[in-house]
A and B are shown apart, each in its own frame.
Chain A
Amino acid sequence: MERLQSIPKAWIYVILVVVLAGPLLKPIGIPIPISEEVSKSFQAIDSLAPGSVVVFGFDYSPGNAAEMEPQALAILEHLAEKQVKVIGISFQVQGPEMATKAFANTSWAEKEYGVDYVNLGYRAGGQAAVAAFATDIPGTFSTDYSGKPSSSFPIMQGIKTAGDIDMIITIAPGQPGPEDYVRQVYGTYKTRIIAGVPAVAITQVAPYVQAGQIEGILGGLPGAAECEILVQKRGQAVAAMDAQSLAHLLIIVLIAFRNIPNFFGAKEARAQSMSDRTHHAGRGGRS
């Protein structure tokens, strides 16, 4: 047991890489169930009528793209199929580049820029910029990412405030994120919000989901994988799921190595201290 408690760091690193790479090279095919959370988000997007206008917040960056991009791509495919219009915006400085890449790598590449979709780029200021966007979209995003006036695009006709938007979908690993859209947009306009969040933020957005401020979420890479299955475009996230499962098992096993001996050890120590107390009365045991 003691050996299991003192595995060298280097060995743990090697084990981790092997556990993750193994199922990527030779997939196991663990079935991926669809959670209620993801199917609710899927149905919300599915309820959009053709021609609806969706604001898509590309609020992620290359650093967290491994988790966020598969979510964005799967949702974008769904939106393309639904024939809705997509206004891409970003409150994350590297977000517009992610938008360019995402539009180019989905069915949106075949659609018409300015008519079916547009990439309005980034605006500085965090939550304050989200507030500015909510009350004045053409003023806040007066141009697209390349600097062309946004009023020149047919897709922007008739869009003034967040009240003119049918749904906001934000793929955001941090701040500004779905909470800021809730505070600045939902409070005033009650615009429907779907949020793609990294696994770390699933627990943080839960109060807003329960309150109905956020209609649905995709959580982390499993959320993306489920969405890929629902839109029938299996991609990077589905391919990663076996590795994800094994990684979780590995961590649980490692935590168990640390704690199972502890658990029994604690019992032994308690027994030991009890016997100490009987033998050396007055010295006191563990408190």
Chain B
Amino acid sequence: MSLDFGIWVAGLVTLAIISHVWKENPLYRSAEHLYVGISAGHAVVVAWGNIRDTAAKPMQEEGQLIWIIPILLGVLLYTRYFKKIAWVARYPIAVMVGIGTGVAVRGAIHGDFTQQIAATVSVGSVNDILLLVFVIASLSYFFFSKEIKGPLSSVPQLGKLVLMVAFGAAFGTTVMGRMALLIGRIQFVLGDWLGIMK
């Protein structure tokens, strides 16, 4: 059994949180609130470090006054808490959304679209042909503009089955992941804390 005070605290926190599976109780709620508090505190500390290192230091130490703009925009986000000037927060949000949208669009066009098509149509084996057929079938299942009728209607039907296989695989791997996380906790309790694991 561990004699480390930290391990004991971690062990008791583990028990407090897991007790929620049985039923909501004050121990769980205490641990939960401590967790939220520490996470939020940590996020603030790290965010503050980002502002200090990325903007404030270059401004103070190298005289790069341009950094005043993002700092000002960041501060303006907090106008949302004052009803009369809440609209001012729209400007930093617009800048942030503009950057996010620009980055997302260019990334999506290249990485998620053209390169995916290129990888689908370069056919060299039976599996490649199957992949091509399955991709087309799955895409046709998402084709909502007009109902596909006649002999071609079996294509979206096949697409639906392909998607079901994909979801089945996703279910299998989800189970796998969740079990791994629980195993990790049991390893901590039996190994690090109680010291009875081989």
A and B from one complex: yes
A143 to B51, CA, bound (A): 11
Is the CB of B187 closer than 8 A to any CB of chain A? yes
Specify which chain B residues have a CB less than 8 angstroms from the CB of A207 in the assembled complex: 116, 119
Specify which chain A residues have a CB less than 8 angstroms from the CB of B170 in the assembled complex: 200, 203-204
Contact flag A248-B107 (CB < 8 Å), given A66-B184, A203-B173, A212-B119: no
Q: Are B183 and A24 in touch, CB under 8 angstroms?
A: yes
Q: Are A203 and B169 in touch, CB under 8 angstroms?
A: yes
Is the CB of B111 closer than 8 A to any CB of chain A? yes
Specify which chain B residues have a CB less than 8 angstroms from the CB of A191 in the assembled complex: none
Number of A-B contacts (CB under 8 A): 155
Contact flag A221-B166 (CB < 8 Å), given A123-B54, A183-B110, A248-B175: no
A65 to B181, CA, bound (A): 8
Contact stretch, chosen from B85-93, B150-158, B190-198 = B190-198
Q: Are A66 and B54 in touch, CB under 8 angstroms?
A: no
A198 to B185, CA, bound (A): 16
A182 shortest CB reach to chain B, Å: 5
B71 shortest CB reach to chain A, Å: 14
Q: Are A20 and B100 in touch, CB under 8 angstroms?
A: no
A184 to B173, CA, bound (A): 27
Q: Are B46 and A67 in touch, CB under 8 angstroms?
A: no
Contact flag A182-B42 (CB < 8 Å), given A67-B180, A248-B175: no
Is the CB of B123 closer than 8 A to any CB of chain A? no
Q: Are B177 and A236 in touch, CB under 8 angstroms?
A: no
Q: Which of A20, A27, A142 contacts B179 (CB 8 A)?
A: A20
B-to-A contact residues, CB < 8 Å: 21, 39, 42-43, 46-47, 49-50, 52-54, 57-58, 99-100, 103-104, 106-108, 110-112, 115-116, 118-119, 131, 166, 169-170, 173-177, 179-187, 190-191, 196-198
A-to-B contact residues, CB < 8 Å: 13, 16-17, 20-21, 24-27, 64-67, 93-94, 96-97, 121-128, 131, 140, 142-143, 145, 147, 179-180, 182-184, 186-187, 198-204, 207-208, 210-213, 219-222, 236, 239-240, 243-244, 247-248, 251
